[in-house]
Amino acid sequence: MNNPQSKPSADNPATPLGSAAFLRAGADGELNGAQAEAFEALEGDAAARVAFERGLRAACARCMDAKASDALRARVVQTIRASCPDAGSGDTTGAVRHEGGSAAPRPQPGRARMPRGRRVLMSVGVSAFLLLAIGMVVQAVINAGSTSGTLDGGQQFTASLASFVSGEHLRTNPNTEAARLKFSCRDFARVSTDFSEALGEAPDLPQPGGEHDLEFEGAARCGVPGGGRSIHARYLSHDPAGHTHGVSIFVQQDTGRLDLQEGQVYRLACDNAAVTVWSHAGLVYYLVADDAAGCRCFRTAMGLPDPVGTVRARD
């Protein structure tokens, strides 16, 4: 008899998650160690679905903000008001009189039913809201396509990279539930042992302490786009002015997707964070900070030079 858990797949990921939820969590880098191993073993159609999920996130990030615009909210409110005019005047809460003149008991609070006509109007309003919202999203994607449709495959890949690493950095801020759940390794001494086999090399991460008083926050397996296995480590660094910077380092097996020269540091174009990239001994490193000062502080602590330019992907 075949063992249903013998091979991980999108429909059988060896996790309590459903197929779609498993793929979305993997695309967002939200899986634990065992789940990440099952995710990395996916092939064929499942891998294509993961690539689509990541591409969709990058496309949405390029064409729309996470917050609805004032114009959209105003149009939705206007549509609902137009579809649901106030019912006619009159006492709708008083006692109802029967033909004989006796008064029926006043409806109990919380038990009154909305008149049928009013319910129909409310349904129309909700439908109008959904249609309007969908239309606005579709139009935003179309408009974005007209301005970003010239992106080649390499530009789309670097945009997907930037979206992922900056999103994970912001999502796992220190002292958050996301950070507590994600970072399974909290002891820096265990990093090399826990992750060398997955990466094929021991990651070259800075020791805690030192001149910049680096604090190791944790590390975990991750799902950086590009195909190679990866991990995510978080630190706090302190600059001479007394400022504290939250920093993420993503380490990934080098699959050759980025045009990197060993010994050189590059910027990765990103709207949400400061990201620098370099390669060493078959691994690619992505340094992510909230701002350029945080990146500069951590590069100094690691003895890295300033970036020479913006990294490009190989088509």
Q: Identify the band that residue 5 occupies on the pLDDT scale cut at 50, 70 and 90.
A: very low
Let me know if residue 120 belongs to a domain: no
36 and 175 co-located in one domain: no
Give the C-alpha separation, 270 to 155, whole Å: 12
Three-state secondary structure call for residue 151: coil
What pLDDT score does 218 carry? Answer: 95
pLDDT in tens, 47-106: 556 666 766 665 665 555 555 667 777 777 777 777 666 544 444 444 444 444 555 555
Pairing of the two strands 266-267 and 244-253: unpaired
Q: What is the per-residue pLDDT across 209-267, written as a single tens digit (0 to 9) for each?
A: 887 789 999 999 999 998 899 999 999 988 778 888 899 999 999 999 999 999 999 99
Q: Greater confidence, 4 or 21?
A: 21
Question: Does a structural domain hold residue 277?
Answer: yes
Q: What is the pLDDT of residue 225?
A: 92
Range of the domain at 160: 153-302
**Could you tell me if residue 68 is inside a domain?**
no
Half-sphere exposure of 227 (CA within 13 A, CB side): 8
Question: Does residue 270 share a domain with residue 165?
Answer: yes
Residue 292 pLDDT exceeds 90: no
pLDDT over 90 (residue 293): no
Coil/strand/helix, residue 115: coil
Are 53 and 168 found together in one domain? no
Q: Are residues 163 and 280 in the same domain?
A: yes
Dump strand ranges (E) for the chain: 215-222, 230-238, 244-253, 266-267, 274-280, 283-289
Nearest to 8 by CA among 40, 50, 48: 40
Higher pLDDT, 150 or 42: 42
> Which class for 140: exposed (0-12), middle (13-18), buried (19 or more C-beta within 10 A)?
middle
For residue range 98-154, what is the model confidence (pLDDT) as tens digits? 444 555 555 555 555 656 666 666 666 666 677 666 666 555 545 544 444 555 678
Q: How far apart are CA 6 and CA 168, in angstroms?
A: 31
Classify residue 313: in a domain, yes or no.
no
76 in any annotated domain: no
Q: What percent of the chain has pLDDT over 70?
A: 60
Question: What whole-number distance in Å separates Cα of residue 191 and Cα of residue 186?
Answer: 9
Q: Tell me: the pLDDT tens digits for 168-211?
A: 999 999 888 999 999 999 999 999 999 999 999 999 999 998 87
First to last CA, the chain: 45
293 and 174 in a common domain: yes
Tell me, yes or no, whether 218 lies in a domain.
yes
Count how many domains the chain has: 2
For residue 168, being part of any structural domain is answered with: yes
Within this chain, do residues 163 and 262 fall inside the same structural domain, yes or no? yes
**166 falls in which pLDDT band (50, 70, 90)?**
very high
Q: With a cut of 70, say whether residue 6 has pLDDT above it.
A: no
Q: Is residue 97 part of a domain?
A: no
Q: 56 with 165, same domain? A: no
